[in-house]
Amino acid sequence: MLASSELSQPSSPELEASSLWRDAQLAAAVIAVTGYQCGGVRVSAQPGPVRDFWVAMLEDLQQAPTRKIPPSTATDRLLGGMDITESMRLGKPVLATGVLSECHQRTVVMPMAERLPKEYSGHWCAALDFGKINVARDVLTSTTNAAITLIALDEGIDEEAPPAALLERLALNIHLDPISIHGVDDTAFSPSDIVRVRNQISLHPANDATIKLLAELAASLGVHSTRSLLFSVTVCRAIALLLELPETHEDVIASVIRLVLLPRATQLPQQEAPEPPMEEQQPETTEENESKAQPTAPPGDTEEMVQAATATLPPEVLTMLLSRAERSRQRQNKAGSAGHLSQDKQRGRPVGVRRGDIKRGHRVDIPATLRTAAPFQSARARWDNSNNSKRGLYIEPADIRVKRFEQRKSSVMIFVVDASGSSAYQRMAEAKGAIELILADCYSHRTEVALIAFKGESAELLLPPTRSLVRAKRTLAQLPGGGGTPMGAALQAMHELAMSVAASGATPSFILLTDGAANVARDGTKSRSAGTEDAINAAKAVAGADYRGILIDTAIRPSSRANDLATALDAVYLPLPNASAESINDSVRALN
């Protein structure tokens, strides 16, 4: 049993490490008690003896072995499917049990959980949510129990992390890296403690005061998910019973904060009070401010509690948690904008096989095709009345399975060239030179290019996305100049093209060559102020979509106009006089 006074002592590295280990022990005990109900534990640690010790301790506490399942386990193994050999032997479809159902009521250890592909995480989440999985594969439908407890060993460095949907479903979070193997022991709890608390916990409904306190804490930390709050209540009850303290005892609450709430925090209580609300989030400020304006909890108490809870955390763990909080806040602010669907597609996704057509140029997956055809062989032989006794296998068009490849995602560079009569055109030759440099780079990256030119009252798509750089070069060389600068129309044309590029699955980026002197509004009226306003509005819309881009200022004397536009676009600003071939190429490489 832990002495309660040990939990809140002034910190030194050894003490911090030992308090981390106490949390880890507590987490092991809580998960041994609650099991499936709390989902599992995210263990942030590199492989090593401390981590192994922790897993062994957990196995000892729950008096059951764990089972290791790699994150790369594919859908057909996770869910199961038709067992071809058994099905053929018995003459009826037989379902092979998937890994998830095999692990019903067991604890699963997933090493390298940060490598779990998103398309598999859905299956894990379903098992964690409902304790059972629905399988509808290979002519079989079934619902099987799969109440698993998941220990996700997160070895991610920096940005790498297991899928957010999975983390949401694991109640507890521990960090083992700062702990030395000499500092660990497994004396805090015994298997008999676990059995005792398991028996007690179902008799104790949650206490109102505890729920209220935890709800206030969660709100002050910006943890809005109901699931997280539910976890914190369950964990709190388990910890209180394990330590034989009241639920609202400060040590119990501090542990809940460290294990459950703080890792999910999107803000810290003290951030909210003195600082004005963040300025960046203009688009949705009205709603956001309103919800923030009514403080959900008196900040004072919760702030103190969080501070007390974090006092024993080593600085590096605290920093990491804070940066995670920062990231998840940014993600929340960005949620809903169209741009971020692309990232994980760039890493070659392992994609399986599907029904296909030989004629359409797919690559046939022969083993998969044979597997599909296998069960039907005897039946088809019977149906075959061609009297051709030498016939070998019966393969029908519906059996054909083709390999699916997700080719490295192509990218499309959209050039938007200012061909107006303003100063931009004076430097057209230089601009064209710069573009040729970029084109050469695009060629080496197999990037497609598109060209939009704008002058007079409108913008025109001169060249839709193409791989033919020769055509791009020629179109560019013939580009006529003169007239006003319809910047708003140009940006809108660019945005529309970028959206259609993104919709087709490629990643758009853009290079805008202009002096930034917008003087034609979108409706065609010639007015510097209206033109600029339109341009800035269109630029903000582009920035909202999160495309990467460069603005090359082609004015003779670079001015703040182009720079302002680049800021609004969230693009890199390069004034041409200073832009050497290298600096342009460097920036372009950053895009590619």
Q: Which lies closer to other proteins via its Cβ, residue 157 or residue 398?
A: 398
Centroid of chain to Cα 590: 22
Q: Which lies closer to other proteins via its Cβ, residue 353 or residue 555?
A: 353
Tally the residues of the chain: 592
Smallest separation, CB 506 to other proteins (Å): 14
Smallest separation, CB 68 to other proteins (Å): 22
Question: Which tokens is 420 given?
Answer: 């107006």
Q: Which strand (E) or helix (H) includes residue 507?
A: strand 507-514
Smallest separation, CB 342 to other proteins (Å): 10
Q: Which lies closer to other proteins via its Cβ, residue 277 or residue 283?
A: 283
Smallest separation, CB 540 to other proteins (Å): 6
Q: Is 66 helix (H, G, I), strand (E, B) or coil?
A: strand
Q: At what angle do helices 13-34 and 191-201 cross, to 10 degrees?
A: 60
Q: Which lies closer to other proteins via its Cβ, residue 133 or residue 591?
A: 133
Q: 444 φ, ψ to 5°?
A: -70, -20
Smallest separation, CB 312 to other proteins (Å): 27
Smallest separation, CB 168 to other proteins (Å): 5
Q: How many CB atoms lie within 10 A of CB 111?
A: 17
Strands (E) across 111-248 are located at: 132-137, 140-145, 149-154, 172-175
Question: Which tokens is 431 given?
Answer: 């601009």
Q: Which lies closer to other proteins via its Cβ, residue 46 or residue 296?
A: 296
Question: Which tokens is 148 given?
Answer: 């698993």
Instruction: Find the largest Cα–Cα distance for the chain.
Output: 89
DSSP 334-356: HTT-GGGGSHHHHS-----EEE-
Q: Which lies closer to other proteins via its Cβ, residue 354 or residue 408?
A: 354
Question: Which tokens is 296 given?
Answer: 């959900």
* Direct distance between the N- and C-terminal alpha carbons of the chain, in angstroms, rounded to an integer: 57
Q: Which lies closer to other proteins via its Cβ, residue 23 or residue 247?
A: 247
Q: Which lies closer to other proteins via its Cβ, residue 1 or residue 379?
A: 379
Q: Which lies closer to other proteins via its Cβ, residue 164 or residue 470?
A: 164
Smallest separation, CB 373 to other proteins (Å): 10
For residue 283, what are the CA distances in angstroms to 243, 279, 287, 413, 532? 47, 10, 10, 27, 20
434, 473 contact by CB (below 8 A): no
For residue 346, what are the CA distances in angstroms to 331, 340, 350, 507? 19, 12, 11, 9
Smallest separation, CB 212 to other proteins (Å): 5
Q: Which lies closer to other proteins via its Cβ, residue 8 or residue 332?
A: 332
Smallest separation, CB 216 to other proteins (Å): 6
For residue 115, what are the CA distances in angstroms to 143, 294, 407, 409? 27, 40, 20, 20
Q: Which lies closer to other proteins via its Cβ, residue 190 or residue 342?
A: 342
Q: Which strand (E) or helix (H) includes residue 178?
A: none
Q: Is 572 helix (H, G, I), strand (E, B) or coil?
A: strand
Place of tokens 């108490």: 301
482, 468 contact by CB (below 8 A): no
CA gap 418, 110 in Å, rounded: 54
The amino acid present at 552, given as its one-letter code, is I
146, 104 contact by CB (below 8 A): yes
For residue 59, what are the CA distances in angstroms to 29, 191, 311? 10, 10, 30
Smallest separation, CB 226 to other proteins (Å): 5
Strands (E) across 499-586 are located at: 507-514, 548-553, 572-575
Smallest separation, CB 547 to other proteins (Å): 11
CA gap 563, 221 in Å, rounded: 38
Contacts of 185 (CB under 8 A, 6+ apart): none
Q: Which strand (E) or helix (H) includes residue 80?
A: strand 80-82
Smallest separation, CB 568 to other proteins (Å): 11
Q: Which lies closer to other proteins via its Cβ, residue 20 or residue 253?
A: 253
For residue 309, what are the CA distances in angstroms to 16, 258, 271, 281, 563? 12, 6, 16, 30, 46
Q: Which lies closer to other proteins via its Cβ, residue 311 or residue 374?
A: 374
Q: Which lies closer to other proteins via its Cβ, residue 74 or residue 318?
A: 74
Smallest separation, CB 230 to other proteins (Å): 6
Q: Which lies closer to other proteins via its Cβ, residue 49 or residue 130?
A: 130
Smallest separation, CB 451 to other proteins (Å): 19
Smallest separation, CB 101 to other proteins (Å): 13
